[in-house]
Amino acid sequence: MISTKNVVKVGIAQLDIVKSPDTIRTSGLGSCVGVVLYDETKKIAGLVHVMLPDSSLGKTSTMNLAKFADTGIEALIERLKLEGIQPYRLKAKIAGGAQMFQFTTDKDTMRIGPRNVEAVKAELKKCGIPLVAEDTGGNSGRTIEFNPETCLLNIRTVNQGVCDI
């Protein structure tokens, strides 16, 4: 049997959704956080590649909702609702949020990775979505791929191999 599986690729500050048997992937997760929301019974998942913690950091009049934790997760929930997903059925897995550069300053503005993780967790809590697994922090970049059929998030970390959560 020939596999007809496609891999939907999500770029930085983008979001998309996928239905089984397709998978969804994003690369270049340094300080960014990949947030996967999924409904395990309907085998549908969405992924948003969050770049910054808070949309108040946006400096343009036309805002890219997927760029920020607060607006990106909300926008992804809305996309999933268009597919008939009930938000109360959603679960979340996240990866990324690395501290990519070592700074000698304690300035909070330089802690983008940890702040992204905190903002994503706060938004998930606000939306009532349980966070069931995470691979965050450290100082290595990641590529993630989610399979809505198995509900496994495959994580490839620079210098640290591969794992599934």
Question: Could you read off the pLDDT tens digit of each residue along the chain, which spans 165 residues?
Answer: 455 689 999 999 999 999 999 999 999 999 999 999 999 999 999 999 999 999 986 666 678 999 999 999 999 999 999 999 999 999 999 999 998 777 655 666 678 999 999 999 999 999 999 999 999 999 999 999 999 999 999 999 988 889 999
Which candidate in 32, 127, 151, 163 is catalytic? 32
Residues 6+ apart with CB under 8 A from 42: 83, 84, 85, 89
In whole angstroms, what is the distance from residue 47 CA to residue 137 CA? Answer: 19
pLDDT of residue 130: 98
pTM of the model as a whole: 0.93
Q: How far apart are CA 17 and CA 83, in angstroms?
A: 9
pLDDT of residue 49: 98
Looking at residue 100, what is its pLDDT?
78
pLDDT, residue 160, reads: 84
- What pLDDT, on the 0 to 100 scale, is given for residue 135? 97
User: Among the residues of 2-106, which ranges form H helices?
Assistant: 69-82
Residue 32 catalytic?
yes
Predicted local distance difference test score (pLDDT) of residue 3: 57
- Topology given in CATH for the domain delimited by 7-153: 60s Ribosomal Protein L30; Chain: A; (3.30.1330)
